[in-house]
Amino acid sequence: QPAADMADCTVVLDARQLVALDTTGAEALRELSQALAERGAALRIDHALPQPAGLLQRCGLGALLGAPD
């Protein structure tokens, strides 16, 4: 899609069923976030459980975390 179609959009990932996340998954989320940012959109991860939320924080992706569980 053209960049203008995604300007100011936010993609929300409801992570309440995501029990565990490893560094490969965190890197995939980083890449998704960057790809969206290049198109003017953002990624937000809501309802992350403690393990995934902690890993995202440690990987420098804490800014993606939205509403807590």
pLDDT at residue 3, as a whole number: 56
Residue 2 has pLDDT above 80, yes or no: no
Per residue in 30-59, is it b (16+ CB within 10 Å) or e — as a string? beebeebeeeebbbebebbbeebbebbeeb
The DSSP secondary structure of the chain, one letter per residue, reads --HHHHTT-EEEEE-TT-----HHHHHHHHHHHHHHHHTT-EEEEES--HHHHHHHHHTT-GGGB-S--
pLDDT digits (tens, 9 = 90+) for 9-60: 999 999 999 999 999 999 999 999 999 999 999 999 999 999 999 999 999 9
The residue with greater pLDDT, 3 or 58, is 58
